[in-house]
Amino acid sequence: MPDIAVEDTSLPDSPPVQEKYLTHAFPGGPTDPSILRSFNSHVAAAIWHGEERGPLKCYNHSSKILAWPWWLVENNTRFKAIIEQSGLSQLARCTYRFVNKLLVSCFVERWQPETNTFHMTVGEMTLTLDDVGTILGLPIVGKSVSIPDVTDHHGVTLLVYGLGITERTAHEEVSSAGGNSVRLEWLRSQFAGVTDSDPEEAIQCAARAYLLFLLGCTLFSDKSGGRVPVVYLGLLMDLGSIHTYAWGAAALAFLYRQLGFASRSGVKQMGGYMTLLEAWIYEHFRAFRPHHPKINDA
């Protein structure tokens, strides 16, 4: 499995865990605090005290994906070819329309970030790389999806060279979105109208914009609710090599982290690709399985 470094771009909504909560056994919890050291700040500990958290807010961007229906347009064959070649196009076809936030919240209550597993009454279970490859059809081996921290200046430079926009436009959007990110809706409004009559460079820039948009809507959806970090654009500059990255492994690592954050008692929101988590639950716990329409279902 390749090394994966995934930046956490979520907005923090709970204070850091205090040391006193990491060093003592907890009534009803693990008797050896050296293993699950953060259990006192876990949502399960709050439930033990009678503090119900309620369902998590889980973001779903299927409506945004449907608002950019490139697969239905007839005069953008070159754009379609780039998207299909990237190996990420299926993400636009397999995303669920809705999130079952009650189901997700119930499973988060059983997630332990120290072990990256769900602690069930029958034992421990977790999502694996094989699960990701089967559910999403994404590569789980390949080049590492490793993204460094970038300065505001570097972020603007990526936008200028990757999307073909002016430096002024890039500065304005990054300033408006905040967090060295761009808004998903801005990407759609600026690049959704490309056709075969446009220059090849414009089509390539629109393809990068869409793939950045798609990553922000799916694999790396965070708690900002409508932004995507510019840093991911660095992985999309060479359009011919996008399919060589281990996107499935990166998605799993990102989801692990988001599950860990969401398992804290003070957290109210959760990032990550909810379709991946839900599909795994339905596959392994078929009693929960509904008719769950995907975004391209009739």
Per-residue HEC secondary structure of 190-233 comes to HHCCCCCCCCHHHHHHHHHHHHHHHHHHCCCCCCCCCEEEHHHH
pLDDT per residue as tens digits for the range 117-144: 998 888 889 999 999 999 999 999 999 9
Distance of CA 24 to the CA centre of its chain: 34
Q: Are residues 80 and 38 in the same domain?
A: no
At 37, which helix (H) or strand (E)?
Answer: none
For 39-82, the pLDDT digits (tens) are 778 888 777 777 888 899 998 899 999 999 999 999 999 999 99
169, 27: one domain? no
Q: For 269, left (φ over 0), alpha (ψ -120 to 50), or beta?
A: beta
Contacts of 50 (CB under 8 A, 6+ apart): none
Domain check: are 187 and 42 in the same one? no
- Of 285, 297, 290, 262, give the one whose Cα is nearest residue 125: 285
What average pLDDT does the segment 2-16 reach? 45
In the chain, the number of structural domains is 2
CA distance 108 to 129: 19
14 pLDDT more than 50 = no
End-to-end distance of the chain based on CA atoms, in angstroms? 38
Q: Under DSSP, is residue 48 helix (H, G, I), strand (E, B) or coil? A: helix
Mean pLDDT score of the chain, rounded to an integer? Answer: 86
Q: Do both 119 and 189 map to the same domain?
A: yes
Do 41 and 95 fall into the same domain?
no
* Winning range, highest mean pLDDT, from 95-104, 151-160, 199-208, 286-295: 199-208
Query: Is 142 found in the same domain as 176?
Result: yes
Same domain, 46 and 115: no
Q: What confidence score (pLDDT) does residue 46 get?
A: 79
Q: Sign (positive/negative) of CA torsion 230, 220, 81, 187?
A: negative
Residue 114 has pLDDT above 50, yes or no: yes
Answer yes or no: is pLDDT of 178 > 50.
yes
Q: Is the pTM of this model over 0.75?
A: yes
